[in-house]
Amino acid sequence: MGISDWPVTLRPRERLISQGAQSLSDAELLAIFLRTGLPGCSAVELAQRLLLHFGSLGKLCSAAIQDFCAFPGLGPAKFAQLQAVLELARRSTEEELANGVALRSSAAVRNYLHLRLANLPYESFTVLFLDARHHLISCEELFRGTLTRAYVYPREVVRSALRHNAAAVILAHNHPSGEPAPSSQDHELTQLLCSALGLMEVKVLDHMIVAGRRFYSFAEHGEL
């Protein structure tokens, strides 16, 4: 049975309009994106198969084009559409941070970092550069590493902060392992960067670790 044959109250698109996107499951949201299923398989069923195949919505969104297009019912056009949706979400959240105060928009900061870092297969060290009013100037990936480590050079972080004329920064990196707890090296690096940036009168507001849907904030744990 196709979705068009379902009762109106059960159809994902109609439920989204009447109840809001937050009321839908991952599979239902994905079904709206897919629009159509396969012969004998509704869009919702196809979405459920996709999530099962890739393991999670995040892994589907970060899949390489070869893996994405290898699944029946998908292709380059759907891959391009999905990447466009993700980039729109990133830019929308970045605009929110640029127009608002980052410290008062902790949810927006987390959402933005989640979109940028959560599903990367490698460790990325990223810095949000902020002006004196804590509006976002720029967000840059400064260092890229392997599955378990990215080598960070403090002088390059300082140089980038001065180039942007930043008054403050939020440091961030991801743990592809899915464990958000900081390592001893994370603690050492945080203190080193606080000292180096402090000499240039650039304040470190936070260092956030992104691990899937979990976060660790040095500021929230009183470690800055």
Where does residue 142 rank: exposed (0-12), middle (13-18), buried (19+ CB within 10 A)?
Answer: middle
Count Cβ atoms below 10 Å from residue 204 Cβ, excluding itself: 23
85-101 pLDDT per residue, tens? 888 888 887 777 667 66
106-163 pLDDT per residue, tens? 777 888 888 888 878 889 999 999 999 888 899 999 998 765 556 788 999 999 999 9
102-217 falls under which CATH superfamily?
Answer: Cytidine Deaminase, domain 2 (3.40.140.10)
Q: Residues 208, 209, 213, 219: what is their CA dihedral angle, to the nearest 10 degrees?
A: -40
43-77 pLDDT per residue, tens? 888 889 999 999 888 888 888 899 999 998 888 98
Task: Please give the average per-residue pLDDT across 6-17, as a whole number.
Answer: 78
The domains of the chain are located at 3-74, 102-217
Residue 27 DSSP SS3: helix
